[in-house]
Amino acid sequence: MVLDPRSLVRQSRRLSFLLVFILSSCGGFQSVENLEKIKPPKDFEDIDIETTQVPAPSEKEEAKEPTLISKVKEILPKTILPKKKSYFEEPHAIQRKNMLIDKSPFRVGEKTTYKLTWFAIKAGEVTMEVHPFAYVNDRKAYHFLGSVKSSSVMDLIHSIDDWMESYVDTDTFYPFKAALHGIETDRLREGRTIFNYDKRKVSYWMKRVHVGKGTKEKQATDKIFPGMVDIFSSAYYLRTLPLKVGKKYQADLYYEGKRYVVNAMVLGREKLETEFGLIDTIVVRPTAKFEGQMQTSGDTKIWFTDDDRRFLVQLETKVKIGYLMGKVKTIEDMEYVFPPKK
């Protein structure tokens, strides 16, 4: 149903009265300032991530003393000690690599900001950034960083000041590590997901400290399924796909210790009015169901720029009450230029 401006204003007033009722009935919020900072278990921080380039082989050899095993490997022929095939050399990884577009759509330093609205209310802002490359276990990785900050109006209901990050293999887009750091009205949250390809397992840890309800902690370990993605980098993953109209793409999403199969159907091309003018976009509908406050029902659409960068410029998703809309506000990128406004 499409609402006219006067209807939106009336709806906003009703929601404002609702906010006042909620505030008066709950007796105010307690502060999280006195809560102790959550520290993740050592196993979930003990991952080899370097933010500088990997040293050249000669430098690495000089830095490390040769071990007995390395000396034996040099003496014995390779037929006796065959090299163990890496997870990234297996057929599924090669197939995944071949699925991705040839040229990476990401540029180090790119930053996109979105404004979120719920009905006619400004709900907050989201940022998505691409940081300098990292190296995880000597494999080159993207480093994605994002943040969500609720608006002053939404803070009256429930304030959110979260940020998340993901490290993802540049060749296959297999994730290495995902982290969530959350500060909300009455709770602190920390979450980690570690993808260990040597051991073929994924480990999840989450801890929440609530002002009134105390502490809740959860850990889970599962088998890695080829093609898994974490929830934050999944939006970036869609940008790496060809996105052919009429085609459906599938991925295994690992979220809060559970595996979900997500399908993304490319609906078509569309001219979209934005703050930058009328631009060509590709429209994608992902379908998955998540439990919790922001439960989706498959009624979600994402608009990407129809060019080699595939910037996400708009998102619309149904939540329990109404729709949450995200529209691009700014794109900071040295290389990218929108077409002139018409």
Express each pLDDT in 102-127 by its tens digit.
Answer: 999 999 999 999 999 988 889 899 99
pLDDT of residue 101 exceeding 60? yes
Per DSSP, the chain holds a count of helices (H) and strands (E) of 5, 16
pLDDT of residue 259 exceeding 70? yes
- The answer to whether the beta carbons of residues 156 and 52 sit under 8 Å apart is no
Q: What is the mean pLDDT of the chain?
A: 81
Q: What is the pLDDT of residue 27?
A: 38
Compute CA distances 146 → 43, 130, 262, 282, 325, whole Å.
Answer: 24, 9, 21, 23, 17
- The answer to whether the beta carbons of residues 118 and 326 sit under 8 Å apart is no
pLDDT in tens, 162-221: 999 999 999 999 999 999 998 888 889 999 999 999 999 999 999 999 888 889 999 999
To the nearest whole percent, how much of the chain has pLDDT over 70?
74
User: Distance between CA atoms of 253 and 234, rounded to whole angstroms?
Assistant: 8
Residue 313 maps to a domain: yes
Residue 107 maps to a domain: yes
User: Distance between CA atoms of 296 and 318, rounded to whole angstroms?
Assistant: 6
Residue 88 maps to a domain: no
Residue 104 maps to a domain: yes
pTM above 0.85, yes or no: no
Q: What is the pLDDT of residue 13?
A: 44
pLDDT in tens, 39-92: 877 777 656 667 644 443 333 334 445 666 556 556 655 555 566 789 999 999
Neighbour count for residue 95 (Cβ, 10 Å): 12
Q: What is the pLDDT of residue 8?
A: 41
Q: Say how many domains are in the chain.
A: 1
Ordered DSSP codes for 164-204: EEEEEETTT--EEEEEEEEEETTEEEEEEEEEETTTTEEEE
User: Distance between CA atoms of 96 and 100, rounded to whole angstroms?
Assistant: 7
Q: Which domain holds residue 150?
A: 31-53+94-332
Residue 7 maps to a domain: no
User: Distance between CA atoms of 23 and 26, rounded to whole angstroms?
Assistant: 5
HEC string of the chain equals: CCCCHHHHHHHHHHHHHHHHHHHHHHCCCCCCCCCCCCCCCHHHCCCCEECCCCCCHHHHHHHCCCCHHHHHHHHCCCCCCCCCCCHHHCHHHHHHHHHCCCCCCCCCCCEEEEEEEECCEEEEEEEEEEEEEEEECCEEEEEEEEEEEECCCHHHCCCEEEEEEEEEECCCCCEEEEEEEEEECCEEEEEEEEEECCCCEEEEEEEEEECCCEEEEEEEEEECCCCEEECCCHHHHHHCCCCCCCCEEEEEEEECCEEEEEEEEEEEEEEEEECCEEEEEEEEEEECCCCCCCCCCCCEEEEEECCCCCCEEEEEEECCCCEEEEEEEEEECCCCCCCCCC
CB neighbour list of residue 285: distance below 8 Å, 6 or more residues apart: 264, 265, 267, 298, 300, 301, 302
Comparing C-alpha atoms, which of 289, 238, 290 is closest to residue 264?
238
Residue 260 maps to a domain: yes
Which residue in this structure is represented by tokens 């018409």?
Answer: 342
Q: Is the dihedral of CA 54, 55, 58, 63 positive or negative?
A: negative
User: Distance between CA atoms of 123 and 316, rounded to whole angstroms?
Assistant: 13
Residue 1 maps to a domain: no
Q: What is the pLDDT of residue 256?
A: 87
User: Distance between CA atoms of 127 and 248, rounded to whole angstroms?
Assistant: 27
Q: What is the pLDDT of residue 80?
A: 56
Mean pLDDT for 319-325 is 85
Mean pLDDT for 240-261 is 92
For residue 110, give both structure tokens: 């790119």
Residue 308 Cα to chain centre, angstroms: 20
Residue 211 maps to a domain: yes
